Structure 1
Amino acid sequence: MAYKDQQLSEEKVFKDPVHRYVHVRDRVIWDLIATPEFQRLRRIKQLGTTNLTFHGAEHSRFNHSLGVYEIVRRIINNFENQSHWNKEERLLCLCAALLHDLGHGPFSHSFEKVFKLDHEYFTQQIIIGDTNIHKILERVSPGFSKEVADVIAKTYEDKLVVSLISSQIDADRMDYLQRDAYYTGVSYGHFDMERILRVMRPIEDQVVIKSTGMHAVEDYIMSRYQMYWQVYFHPVTRSAEVILSKILHRAKELYESKEFTFKLKPIHFISFFEGKVKLDEYLKLDESIVYFYFQAWQEEQDEILRDLCERFMNRRLFKYVEFNPNLQMKQWMELYQLFQNAGIDPEYYLVVDSSSDLPYDFYRPGEEGERLPIHLVMPDNSLKELSRHSDIVEAISGKKRTDHKLYFPKDRLDALENEELKNKIMEILYGQGEVRDVR
């Protein structure tokens, strides 16, 4: 029997708190899960620094990847006798779902921003490069690894396959909303996924929803909206991300200066500092190693690096005020100079952080980042764009919300001996509104 058709002698299951069970029968899927590249995802948290806000958020990219696989498995089981569904794409969909987050690094998006990396690029490189993942996929058929990489890159010719893991209502979002809600303990991310799966229908280039399932989709979209503003953009989590980013920036700056000698040579970071990251080096770096360096850097000679690491490791985070740099540039410049006068480096201790999200978008042809809207199948089999039929979705459709905050170490300001200088800084900060705690 061909490798792609091989089944395990008995079904394997992973006990899962969100989906109850994750079912595996395909030999290919079982072998992919066992690879070092996939097992590495156990050492990458799904939500980065969010555990400093919601202490239960310790789940990993491994958890999430299995969950996305399980949702896609259920979707295509429901599609089995539907027109427009090509059964030959089944294994491709399962592999792409399982491997879609394979290239995430430690602390994911914060890490990417500092070193100008792209996890989707590394996902594709792991799939098509010299890895165990690649060898398994090529056993399915020559060129199969490239097909999986193309699905994840959204360049695969069958857009229906792509839409299962990358659209405005896909398996990726349906898993992370529920999983992140479960582990953070909030109620926002819960919606009737089983209902949505039952009303999904395949058409030529995307998944559509039976009109009778519209209210379940409305609930899903509002869940996503609430999760972004109550969990993903939580100001305490963002404070931790600000410090994390500044640690990495400082370490990179010290390395580039050539005048500073680390007590512990940052060998795992050198290729990242130099912008020459090779795949094998990327795969060796996980969050346990990053934490090891942060722990060690608390003993370094550089005061800024030492202080930032101690803050991150012991959760002594920055306070924040509402602050829009587009409207308050004069105050920003004044604060920057005052921080310098106070001997507090504003490059590391005065940080504007902005968050923005577009909860649902209608079709905008030709625009960058163009996203297909969700379509409803009406009783007469016509398609109707969701926001044209749902008052709830119409109210938020196409409306991007942006939030700006200014982060700073209030403890350092409180310790200033120059009362006049301290009062000037506090007057500007408090003038923007209440200084918020991060506890």
Structure 2
Amino acid sequence: MPLKKKPVTGMKDILPAEMQIRDYVTGLIKETYKSFGFSPIETPCVEHIENLCSKQGGDNEKLIFKIMKRGEKLNLETAQSEADLTDSGLRYDLTLPLSRFYSNNANNLPTPFKALQIGSVWRADRPQRGRFRQFVQCDIDILGEASCLAEIELILATTTLLGKLNFKGFKVRINERRILKAMAEYCGFPEDQFDLVFIILDKMDKIGWDGVKAELIEAGFSADSVAKYVDMFGEMEASEDPLGYLENKLTGVLAADVIGNLRTIRQSVEATKAADFELVFDPTLVRGMSYYTGTIFEIEMPEFGSSVAGGGRYDKMIGKFTGNDTPACGFSIGFERIVTILLENNFQVPGAAGKKAFLIEKNMPADKLCEVLKEARAERENGATVQVALMNKNKKFQKEQLSKEGYTEFKEFFNR
């Protein structure tokens, strides 16, 4: 049977033209985030299965690529459950590995610690535009900072990066998990059912408010609670100051600092932003991860039709490892989605022009070949990119292929 030349479903080969853009974006990410004080780290792609299945990752825990035990630890004949077969898995995001990393290394790190991670993650998801089973994530996180300065820095750093990539007119949607919980409590939903309420609310963009009402009632919640809940969103939308509305409506239910923090974030970001975007309060924003405890945010771009970045505060996750909660907040860029948009817009890497190709006729004598190689070396020492290659019979096609990789200058060398 012949070997299969296509990648495994959900994976993809990356050709040089795309790789050039990916390398550029990666470099810009590192440069921008380092200017905000974030320090690069790296964590293993393989995590303990107990960590991955700790009920922190929401639906992503259903998509884990699990790794079987090895050697003497693997006994297929006596295995009675999945736990007997697997002890680790490929990470589905970078947040859980970061929390383990910080728990293990906190004594050697500053407080607060500003981390930058870029790496591949894996999810056994249904492949679609901008979504693969193996994909690169880029995360920045601030650990040990309890104030909303963390949220402000994360939003400013990420939007500054997107501005450098010429993205304009996008929206940063922001909400607070404590607002979601306070609204659910005020309307009489049982606390142990809050997550189900939020899962249904998260579908609002697809099914509308009538659909949300119907699903909540179908889930067994009282019609009075459902009506009260949905009406609150309508009243907020009609209010000139939604945050003020919530502050008054939820007095005694919502923690006193929540609204003030959101106002400080909005004022600070609007006053100091370096990119063209709008920061909007969106009370329907949920985010799927169950580990979020406070502020949550997403970046929505018209070019993609959905979010291309998201994050929030997760103050309880590190405590799962250490027993002591540590303030933590992070923002993750959908690297693959950003690259997809750039490719669709025929993005050209700045400074990529001017690459030179030296095409040599076959069977060139050694002395003449050395002259060509010396000329190429001199060009490289002056900062140019030079590829030396044998001349194909179909030079036109060869040049067309090289042009796709950014080569704009061609020089031909012959034996005579």
Q: For the superposition of Structure 1 and Structure 2, which TM-score range results when normalised by the shorter chain?
A: under 0.3
More strand by share: 2
- TM-score, length-scaled by structure 1: 0.24
More helix by share: 1
* Structure with max Cα Rg: 2
- Higher RCO structure, 1 or 2 (CA under 8 Å, sep 6+): 2
